[in-house]
Amino acid sequence: MDKASFKPSEARQLFREEKYVGNTAGWCRGYTQAGLVILPKEDAFDFLLFCTRNPKPCPVLDVTEIGSPEPKVIAPHADIRYDLPSYSVYKDGEPAEEPKNIEQYWNDDMVGFLLGCSFSFEDALLKANIPMRHIDAGTNTGVYNTNIPCNSAGKFSGNMVVSMRPIPGNLVSRAVTITSRLPNVHGAPVYIGDPADIGIKDIYKPEWGDPPIMGPGDVPMFWACSVTPQVVALDSKPKLMIAHLSANMFITDIVTESLSIL
């Protein structure tokens, strides 16, 4: 069976049973994927406030109740302790382990934040015949630190992290309007133009992901990236923080098109 045609609940079951471990790009076409950040409840208000104040990098799809692993709004009966392929566990802000479930780390003090992922808007762009160079090449987008400050909240502050997609000049407007319709998965680009203006010295040396493939006449378009909240949260050196392993996302029951605001 093709990964693109699995229902989200079927995919989550496979991940839960550890029958598939790996990235979720291209899984469950049309359904919204989400990044995960789990923090202790003492940090939950400040972190939710940070997300509220920075909706472009941190579009909140769901937040679990304190101590509950169920993302009730986006996937009733799912369990964020088991339903992602792999996790990253950080202790005192440093990487500690990359387990396939987080049963041993979970406790009644924890809150899970599920944040919209750009895999979801790429599907909308592809449907509009906008080429995704990295998908054609079988690589990941380049992901970069910038000098764009986020709005701080309590202990959380830092600059925005962005992903870059090269788009043909005649399709830049279309890529803006299509992603504008989907603010829950990062919305419209935060910057279009010279990477140097937002503090990116060499577009071919991303901090995360792969170097981009720029076609002739391609314009660099920068979208706010969910790596932002992870970087910002880790920077505060929380005792324990759990996140999705890069590109190993939580697949929600939400049809992305249903999130469209226009």
| Residues engaged in binding its own copies (CB under 8 A) | 41, 44-45, 48-49, 51-53, 60, 62-63, 65-66, 72-73, 151, 153-154, 177, 180-181, 183, 187-188, 261-262
CA–CA separation, 64 and 134 (whole Å): 33
Q: Looking at beta carbons only, is 114 or 234 nearer to its own copies? A: 114
**Residue 45 CB, nearest approach to its own copies (Å):** 4
**Residue 152 CB, nearest approach to its own copies (Å):** 9
**Residue 98 CB, nearest approach to its own copies (Å):** 29
Q: Looking at beta carbons only, is 69 or 212 nearer to its own copies? A: 69
**In the beta sheet, which residues pair with residue 90?**
95, 241
CA–CA separation, 176 and 189 (whole Å): 7
CA–CA separation, 151 and 165 (whole Å): 24
**Residue 39 CB, nearest approach to its own copies (Å):** 11
Q: Looking at beta carbons only, is 5 or 52 nearer to its own copies? A: 52
Non-local CB neighbours of 37 within 8 Å, separated by 6+ positions: 47, 112, 113, 115, 229, 230, 233, 241, 242, 243
Q: Looking at beta carbons only, is 75 or 200 nearer to its own copies? A: 75
**Residue 14 CB, nearest approach to its own copies (Å):** 28
CA–CA separation, 117 and 33 (whole Å): 6
Strands 191-192 vs 94-97: parallel, antiparallel or unpaired: unpaired
Q: Looking at beta carbons only, is 157 or 246 nearer to its own copies? A: 157
